[in-house]
Amino acid sequence: MFDLLLDGKKRVVATKGSTFEEFGVTLGLRNPRFRVSRAESRQILISCLGELLWYLSGSDDLSHIKYYLPRYDKSAEEDGRIHGAYGPRLFNSNGTNQIEAAINILKRKGSSRRVAIQLFEARDLLSDYKDIPCTCTMQFMIRKNRLNMMVFMRSNDAYKGLPHDIFAFTMLQEMVARTLGVELGNYKHAIGSLHLYEADAEKAKSYLNEGFQDARPMPPMPLGDPWGSVKALLMAERDIRASGDLNVDTQELDNYWVDLIKILQAFAALKGRNIQRIKEIKSSMSSSFYGTYMNKVEKSAIPRQVQSEFSFGEVN
């Protein structure tokens, strides 16, 4: 993908800067659990998880998402709200919970072709808001007892935005699949303008030069309806974000969800540069999948004056 953009040399000057652009691109994952990069420079699991939980909470509040992604500061309106936030559009679009409605249709008629959730709306054409949804629609379709998902994007930043989008949308796909009791199918991601900002071109080249990546899928989500566990995860996230590292009661949760809570606890410990707490959390993780990400968190907590020995990339 980065090769395509860098070699194409199709420069377009956009509002936020000069870009390399390709028009009309479709990407796909046969196994949507391969949703996070394990390359040293692109281990951004924490910010991906934080953004997903912001969506799932239904929030459009800047103070929530900037805890994970400070760059959202530039996207807020004067009232501290993000106009294009996905959470309210997914779960309270003019009073409609679109995810719940989509699930109900597929429960009634598994072969339906009309389960398309709308994120970009007519009102987004009328005013120059600081943040407009890049995602137009999400479509769910069951075929051969597998839930497929296709997302249509009007615009996608290949370096910063795309990894977060694929993580959040495939996690949502897996949640819907578990709710319906079907297998996880293919994921497709169609983009009108796939672009790479010129300011990120050298970072993209460095990523390509890393060579071999340890590609591994995330652990499978537990069977059964996930929404009770999602609610518990959201409550834990809220409490950890509000009070720093918090001892969360996870006795009723599957280890899959407990590991995600521990990632949030490790991020809080990173903010406090509490290396010992990060080590404790890392040693208690159930899945080895998260080891590489926890190692990066631990290294990033080392005092700045010592960090010259390492090259961590961005932890956000």
* pLDDT tens-digit readout, 228-239: 999 999 999 999
Q: Hey, what long-range contacts does 88-92 have (CB within 8 A, 24 or more apart)?
A: 88/58, 88/59, 88/60, 89/118, 89/119, 89/121, 89/133, 90/55, 90/58, 90/117, 90/119, 91/56, 91/58, 92/58
Task: Answer yes or no: are the C-beta atoms of 261 and 229 closer than 8 Å.
Answer: no
Tokens of 252: 């009723």
With 0-12 / 13-18 / 19 or more C-beta atoms within 10 angstroms meaning exposed / middle / buried, residue 251 is exposed
List the end-to-end C-alpha distance of the chain, in Å, as a whole number. 23
- Please indicate, yes or no, whether the overall pTM of this predicted structure exceeds 0.85: yes
Span 175-217, pLDDT tens digits: 999 999 999 999 999 999 999 999 999 988 888 887 556 679 9
Structure tokens at 101: 């409605």
For residue 16, pLDDT over 80 is answered with no
Number of H helices, E strands in the chain: 11, 6
Residue range 3-16: average pLDDT?
Answer: 80
Give the Cα separation of 109 and 156 in Å (integer).
32
Per-residue model confidence as pLDDT tens digits over 129-172? 999 999 999 999 999 999 999 999 999 999 999 999 999 999 99
Mean pLDDT of the region 231-260: 88
Q: Write out the two tokens for 154.
A: 């009007």
What is the spatial distance between Cα 313 and Cα 292, in angstroms, rounded to a whole number?
13
Q: Which fold has domain 23-192?
A: Thymidylate Synthase; Chain A (3.30.572)
Dist CA 121 CA 106 (whole Å): 23
Judged against a pLDDT cut of 90, whether residue 305 lies above it is answered with no
Q: What is the mean pLDDT of residues 26-31?
A: 96
Any residues with CB less than 8 A from the CB of 54 and at least 6 apart, and which?
64, 65, 68, 85, 87
Residue 304 has pLDDT above 50, yes or no: yes
What are the sequence ranges of the domains in the chain?
23-192, 228-309
Higher model confidence: residue 303 or residue 100? Answer: 100
The larger pLDDT score, comparing residue 297 to residue 41, is at: 297
